[in-house]
Structure 1
């Protein structure tokens, strides 16, 4: 399967007119309290941080970061499902972290690396986008748990235990065996707790998620997922796991991928359905948003549409999406395909009767609580 982020980098960034939603005037928030809220995307980012990003895209990406109004994103450094256990890839991860630091140093007005909870407020006050470096998969750590300490010193603040496939720590969601955590996986979670790195169970198999929740002594994340009760797919999380996560103080972020439906393309109302179901199951203190996409909206050019169809076909062949899904699925929500999508979604939630305090928690307050408790 082609790497998702390589594909999305090739897709390019948004046209300037797509940065803000047509649903409200530029500069006028859909939800009046949005710009005073520290919104956090549980999985997102800008493609200028990708290893093969084109420098010519930088102005558009910076404009998207400003227009988004986001306070912070969990930024994946890697490995995103690849088997990276050798020394060369270990060095590659260190180099990629150094590259992120270099980009931030060259754009101090735009970005801040988040190392502690107070940095979230500092970034918000300075109108910077906070970057929370994380691994999507524990492969860079391998069998050497001392690397947890090393990578924390280099900036990693969240480690996702698995991606879709099985690794040394446990089973991902696409593994048919559903074998859960290994002995190493249990030891890894214990070390992450000790070193004050957030445990993320997104992409885990049902058993991996359940066992990870039970194993962690600190609140955990399921940073980008959907509700299996609404769309019975392996990538989503069941109600029992959502309740157990909430009982341990964790937060689940609702994803913007086609996992929100089993038939057609999800739209904004589907995002809301999953948010509201999660609130019903585990309470408003345990729900967030993890889009699993870029901040910049996608420019739907003819070339993009052609490439996207080929990408979806490859995803079906690899079992990421089931056969029979439409060929024109998108890895974003079409009616939220703007940089300020969190603001638009907040406005929709408000119109459905959700109170401001609840919306603030969903947009980022709940994620900020978990990050602060673990990092303290």
Structure 2
């Protein structure tokens, strides 16, 4: 996900609407009345405030967005992802980053708390604060030392994703053509994660890694941020067979907001909903969630952002992350969900399509909370 951005308030959002021609942004976003009582969990996101220095000019607005977003919790990546070499220096840097984030969270107890167990998640919900759930996108931070799992658990890490796009010691990521699945070491990692009561996340896995990870785990697992590959044949998404197996074993798949969910053109809220509804058809409403892979704060579409974004998307196309014929003039976020309370806006859209309040609340976060509570205790 993006780690450094410039952000905007409602006035900037109106200006963005005028500049882009995206319908509906200049008007007040739709509301879903039960939202503030719902448990909303982002299966992979970012508390942007933790990613910038405290004296950054944008920091106060980011802190305000935390208070406005209405989320119960966000899973946030604390270690670099997709690295072949995670040496001792990177290991110690990761541990220091976690300590630094925890200190900043503690300095704003009215807005955030670190989630370590089911009770913390419920406390975040009851107190209307954003719970930060620490995760890794890949097991590179473990190296070949299984004891690091206990070390990171002691620090507060509660979800670990097995792979990123590349192959690592545990298994194949989604961009590996070999589709080799879990290694012997990978099976040991899953077993140790289960024993340590850390949630296994299979996002970014190859199809075989996803399938074997589901079967290897004695506890329900997540695919925290993905989409439906039967709708768009992109390697980052999951086939129906894996989604169904995940559901059969009690897991949950979070639908992503990134351009993967649309073959061409700019993805919008309607595309997110299309994947949510297909996942419901495949998995059932008890096994679908949302994993945006975006920060909480909305993004200001400045000329600087547009230039940097175009360069980033072109690089991702060159790396094969997006299809070679993909139009690079798009953003990683759906423009009509570029608000702090995007979960509420999406909930209102789902409600307008006839989904019940009970189903919507499950999708917003209750399904994720069920798996986390079962694993964490």
Question: What TM-score range do you get, normalising by the shorter chain?
Answer: over 0.9
TM-score (norm 1): 0.94
Larger deviation: 273-282 or 82-91? 82-91
The structural deviation recorded for 1:345 is 0.4
For 1:14 and 1:81, locate their aligned partners in 2 and report how far apart those are by CA, in whole Å: 30
Q: 1:17 to 1:38 in 2, by over 3 A?
A: farther
1:15 aligns with 2:9: yes
For 2:68 and 2:293, locate their aligned partners in 1 and report how far apart those are by CA, in whole Å: 18
The residue correspondences of 1:16-35 to structure 2 (distance < 5 A) are: 16-17=10-11, 25=28, 30-35=31-36
The structural deviation recorded for 1:102 is 1.0
Structure 2 unaligned segments of length 5 or more: list them: 15-23
Match in the other structure for 1:354? 355
For 2:211 and 2:50, locate their aligned partners in 1 and report how far apart those are by CA, in whole Å: 33
For 1:122 and 1:19, locate their aligned partners in 2 and report how far apart those are by CA, in whole Å: 32
Larger deviation: 83-92 or 127-136? 83-92
The structural deviation recorded for 1:84 is 4.2
1:192 aligns with 2:169: no
For 2:52 and 2:202, locate their aligned partners in 1 and report how far apart those are by CA, in whole Å: 25
Match in the other structure for 2:2? 5
Match in the other structure for 1:94? 95
Match in the other structure for 1:150? 151
Residue pair 1:77, 1:93 contacting (<8 A) in 2 also? yes
For 2:345 and 2:225, locate their aligned partners in 1 and report how far apart those are by CA, in whole Å: 19
For 2:55 and 2:324, locate their aligned partners in 1 and report how far apart those are by CA, in whole Å: 34
Match in the other structure for 2:161? 160
Q: 1:52 to 1:81 in 2, by over 3 A?
A: farther
RMSD of aligned alpha carbons: 1.7
The structural deviation recorded for 1:125 is 2.2
For 1:19 and 1:12, locate their aligned partners in 2 and report how far apart those are by CA, in whole Å: 13
Structure 1 unaligned segments of length 5 or more: list them: none
Q: Residues 205-245 of structure 1: CA distance to partner in whole angstroms, max 9, x if unpaired? A: 01100110110110000000010010011100000000100
Residue pair 1:84, 1:90 contacting (<8 A) in 2 also? no
For 1:138 and 1:17, locate their aligned partners in 2 and report how far apart those are by CA, in whole Å: 41
Q: 1:258 to 1:54 in 2, by over 3 A?
A: farther
Match in the other structure for 1:72? 73
Larger deviation: 120-129 or 164-173? 120-129
For 1:25 and 1:51, locate their aligned partners in 2 and report how far apart those are by CA, in whole Å: 29
TM-score (norm 2): 0.94
